[in-house]
Amino acid sequence: RKLFTTSPKLKIRHLKKHLAALLKLDKYDNIYIVLPVVNYTLSGLSESAKARESTDAAMRQDLLCDQELEDFMTLKDIYEQYGMGTAWELRLLYHFSQSTIVDGVVRLVG
């Protein structure tokens, strides 16, 4: 099963645990959620990141934005560009709110 939806109240760590279970991984420390820049902005994450820059608070490193990627690129294009295999990647839909559905890519960093 490669596509699924989650509850809008689901926390990132719970999503990562679920994905780790699907991938049969012992831990989920190396799972990073990558969001399209449009949804990253719509969900307010970019604003909270700017606010944190002026403080000593550390930004979470497991929630990333694909701002360097063009919107029209497909997953296949990305795999080919970076020489990444597809066996360990999952496509997912993640709800940040009732009105915003975020289409993201799970990236495992070895």
> For 54-97, what is each residue's pLDDT tens digit?
555 444 555 666 554 444 455 566 556 655 555 445 443 333 33
User: Number of C-alpha atoms within 13 angstroms, CB side, residue 10?
Assistant: 17
pLDDT tens digit string along 24-40?
888 887 777 766 666 66
Q: Is residue 7 part of a domain?
A: no
Structural domain including 77 reads 12-108
Query: What pLDDT score does 46 carry?
Result: 60
Q: Is the pTM of this model over 0.85?
A: no
Rg of the chain's alpha carbons, rounded to an integer?
14
Q: Is residue 51 part of a domain?
A: yes
Confirm if 33 and 62 have CB atoms less than 8 A apart: yes
Q: Is residue 5 part of a domain?
A: no
Nearest by Cα to 42 from 99, 93, 107, 106: 99
Q: How many domains does the chain fold into?
A: 1
Q: Is residue 4 part of a domain?
A: no
Q: Is the pLDDT of residue 109 over 60?
A: no
Maximum average pLDDT range among 10-14, 41-45, 102-106: 10-14
